[in-house]
Structure 1
Amino acid sequence: MRARPQVRTQACCAVYKINNSLKNPRQVMHAVTITEIFLIAMLIIFTVPYLIWRLFRTDYWAPLVVVQIITGILLGPGVLGAAFPDYYQFVFNPQVIQALNGIAWWAVMIFVWIAGIELDLKKAWEYKRESGITAGLALGTPLLFGCVAAAILLSISDGWMGPNGMTWQFIVGVGMACAVTALPILILLMEKMEILRQPIGQRILRYASLDDIAIWGVLALILLDWERIGRQGIFLLSFVVASYLFRKLMLALQERDRWYIGFIWLALCGLLADWAGLHFMVGAFLAGAVMDAEWFNQEDMDKLRHFVLLIIMPVFFLSTGLRTNWEVGGIAVFAAAAVLLLAQAAGKLAGVHLAGRVLKWEKGEASIIGWLLQTKALIMIIFANVLLDKQIITSETFTALLIMAVVSTMMTVPIVTPKLKQLAAVVHRSK
């Protein structure tokens, strides 16, 4: 007879025990294993967003990835936990959350690693003037606007800043969150609109790639811990040497071996970056950034990104939703999200339109590029997760940033699609 795991959740008996079956409609449930509760959680994670996506046909304004993020918020303590606290505590008890977090960490590391690999620095260098001006203004202007918005929030209440954060860290962190462009999701949306392989799609990838480097560089600066400056120096010096040797090794390997060695490299860089106090996500991005996309079959890389999003990233979305908090008050959180959304949208559009004037783009071109570069979900959520982990921002600020990222991403396809139809010639403009 198969032995059952010994671990049992005490919450199950406490929550579902019935004192009077006539007065209390809740049924008595037998003790279940943590494994069974974990699988219940996984069933919810994969079933609910898929049904919403399919039944309500949300793909035009909310692709599956956006629906998964929103579902994660709905399954968190702010919604499900508030409406049905007993059921929430039963399914998402600490042991299940710990197991889900482990999957989420590895999922998001792979995702950020792929984003690093997809950076095309050679193409950016080929068009360095145009790429530098556009990427610089597309990042710098919303960063400035976001910093102003962060300062306004801080002047109203200090409850937005975490206990370990300094004022400059909070302002720059929130400002950078407003400037972020989510490169992997941008790729998915441009594939959906059939412009990824077109000249305008490749141009936008160049701009977003340069901004990605700046984003992680600023994050490393924000997380700079003077008490661990020695460790961080050792990590960065070791990383430079190790990257050189790693690249030599990868060039000598066949592609099938490169995949396996690449994942070993990812785990090692994440471990050492976290040991140095820079967070494992910085290590994951650096691990991918020093790799060349040409080392791998592009179709295989696209499939990997697709299956990571399909199979394990939904767990990260759930863990993100579990962090949402409305303690400041629903109105305050949504008001903060609205301020941040206005700051990032105005800043991004202003910066790209300024670049368009300098570079003499055609009419309407800056608008298409500006709206596409506002795609924020995932990378901004990852960025904000790091700030929350380091207690630079509070869970309330995280929730406001999360709402801003989701709304900004949902706006992209409905706004850009009509513009592309009106300005078809712009799509084929090479630079």
Structure 2
Amino acid sequence: MTTGVHANEDLLFSVLIQLIIMIGAARALNIVARRLGQPGAVGEIIAGLMLGPSLLGALAPDLSISLFGASPAPAITIISQIGLTLLMFQIGSEFEFGHLESPQHRKGAALIAAASVLVPLAGGLALGWITAPILAPGIDPTLYALFFGNALAITALPILGRILAQFGLTDKPVGVVAISAAAVNDVAGWVMLASISALAAARFSGGALALQLAGIGTLLVLARFVLAPLASRLVAAFPTTGGRIDPTLMAAMLALVFGLAICTYKLGIFAIFGGFLGGLIMHRHTGFVAAWKGQVGGFVLVFFLPVFFTYTGLRTNLLGLGPEDLSWLAVVLAVAILAKILPVYGAARLAGYTPAESAVLGSLMNTRALMELIVLNIGRDLGVIPPNVFTMLVVMAVVTTIMAGPLLKSLLPRTGHIIPRGVEA
């Protein structure tokens, strides 16, 4: 018994040390990124990568092992996933989807979602087929190409939400259209990922995919016609007063979010989308949303998100590319960027948005960030993405995210939008 107590204390000590380093590094790089005119999330992403084998593990491998071990500890893994689920709830709850009542915005979100999935998917499939014998010998070319296409189609919903918040776009039509299109984009991407994973494991069947889609549809119907009215009754029974959420209501909301996360996990589109769906259910209750942001939101961003970034960084090695891979990296970057920005721009223009607004939407949908890194780690675990291609796609994810800040600072003033102080520098 004593030995078990000491083991628990040792684990707690190790996790606390890791949390101090993660939170401190993320906050420091957040400040640096903002002073350089980048979204703070970019600095936090870089901090996570720096704590992994890309920097700390390369410069001081013994120190890295002593601090973080050879792989992320289960406690850190669980904390990161809980944090991401809560962030998705916050993102869903903070957006004013009433803008989608406009036919133009509904049309725009639908067209942009389709363009942001289909064109990068096609480009990735083509690039995958071309590079399979060169970059991925010995790997099934069909699975490799499918995964390559899926990787290029992803848009990073959580980071996109943070960028929109930082640039003051959360309640603007262009922001709402972007986050709506990104949500559809990512659901499609996760469904494709689940199908490719099943195919890689020789478990794919058309019936299984149809059942999955039916399950997703059923969950959406239940959320709209059962859970939303139930949430409204709870908010009425336990009203938010003085900017504080009643503890019973907060407990109920946490149970709702985590329950929805279980449902989406079982449906094969990952737990974090349950959090986003929970946010959509609650977004109309503005008093609750404001109180949640004040009581919980800051803690989620400062504590949970750095853990998630570091968890991913510990599994990512950006030093794996050799000189011979750099030309292919340039091709991957070109295809990934052009296959997102150009079709989204065209779809937005078709929906009636101005050239400047269309360019903003293209820049936003090009953001991939760490959602991409999650997908890539799954592909590597499945054995369908070799290490060199994995690294190229990681670089692509980081570059497309870093691009967002400069592009938005250049384009947003042309739409008449005033960039908030602290971002415009």
Matches of 2:158 and 2:278, distance apart in 1: 13
Does structure 1 residue 307 correspond to structure 2 residue 299? yes
TM-score (norm 2): 0.77
Residue type of the alignment partner of 2:47: T
Aligned to 1:88: 64
Match of 1:201 among 150, 161, 175: 175
Aligned to 1:264: 255
1:350-361 to 2 correspondences below 5 Å: 350-359=342-351, 361=353
Are the structure 2 counterparts of residues 70 and 114 from structure 1 closer, same or farther at C-alpha, using a change threshold of 3 Å? same
**CA contact 1:200–1:426 (8 Å) conserved in 2:** no
Are the structure 2 counterparts of residues 271 and 134 from structure 1 closer, same or farther at C-alpha, using a change threshold of 3 Å? closer
Provide structure 2 residue ranges, at least 5 long, that are not aligned to the other structure: 239-245, 420-425
Higher mean alpha-carbon deviation, 85-94 vs 278-287, is at: 278-287
Aligned to 1:7: 7
Aligned to 2:396: 404
Higher mean alpha-carbon deviation, 334-343 vs 234-243, is at: 234-243
Does structure 1 residue 41 correspond to structure 2 residue 18? yes
**CA contact 2:30–2:42 (8 Å) conserved in 1:** no
Matches of 2:5 and 2:191, distance apart in 1: 45
Q: CA deviation at 1:246?
A: 3.6
Q: CA deviation at 1:126?
A: 4.1
**CA contact 2:128–2:145 (8 Å) conserved in 1:** yes
Are the structure 2 counterparts of residues 313 and 156 from structure 1 closer, same or farther at C-alpha, using a change threshold of 3 Å? same
Q: CA deviation at 1:60?
A: 4.1
Matches of 1:131 and 1:100, distance apart in 2: 36
Are the structure 2 counterparts of residues 78 and 361 from structure 1 closer, same or farther at C-alpha, using a change threshold of 3 Å? closer
Higher mean alpha-carbon deviation, 285-294 vs 334-343, is at: 285-294
Are the structure 2 counterparts of residues 363 and 325 from structure 1 closer, same or farther at C-alpha, using a change threshold of 3 Å? closer
Count of aligned pairs: 397
- Residue-by-residue CA offset, 1:322-358 (whole Å, 9 max, x unaligned): 1113685444665554333211211122202322453
Does structure 1 residue 191 correspond to structure 2 residue 165? yes
Provide structure 1 residue ranges, at least 5 long, that are not aligned to the other structure: 9-31
Q: CA deviation at 1:44?
A: 1.7
Q: Secondary structure at the match of 1:7?
A: helix
Matches of 1:73 and 1:96, distance apart in 2: 13
Matches of 1:58 and 1:289, distance apart in 2: 27
> What's the % identity of the aligned pairs?
23
Q: CA deviation at 1:240?
A: 6.6
Q: CA deviation at 1:305?
A: 4.5
Matches of 1:375 and 1:188, distance apart in 2: 11
**CA contact 2:195–2:204 (8 Å) conserved in 1:** no
Does structure 1 residue 136 correspond to structure 2 residue 114? yes
Normalized per residue, the structure richer in helix is: 2
Q: Secondary structure at the match of 1:291?
A: helix
Q: CA deviation at 1:241?
A: 8.0
Aligned to 1:51: 28
Are the structure 2 counterparts of residues 272 and 130 from structure 1 closer, same or farther at C-alpha, using a change threshold of 3 Å? closer
Q: CA deviation at 1:414?
A: 1.2
Does structure 1 residue 97 correspond to structure 2 residue 73? yes
Q: Secondary structure at the match of 1:77?
A: coil
Higher mean alpha-carbon deviation, 252-261 vs 412-421, is at: 252-261
**CA contact 1:105–1:316 (8 Å) conserved in 2:** yes
Residue type of the alignment partner of 1:299: A
1:241-390 to 2 correspondences below 5 Å: 243=223, 245-254=226-235, 256=246, 257=248, 259-271=250-262, 274=265, 278=268, 280-281=270-271, 284=274, 287-288=277-278, 291-295=281-285, 297-303=288-294, 304-325=296-317, 329-331=321-323, 336-359=328-351, 361-390=353-382
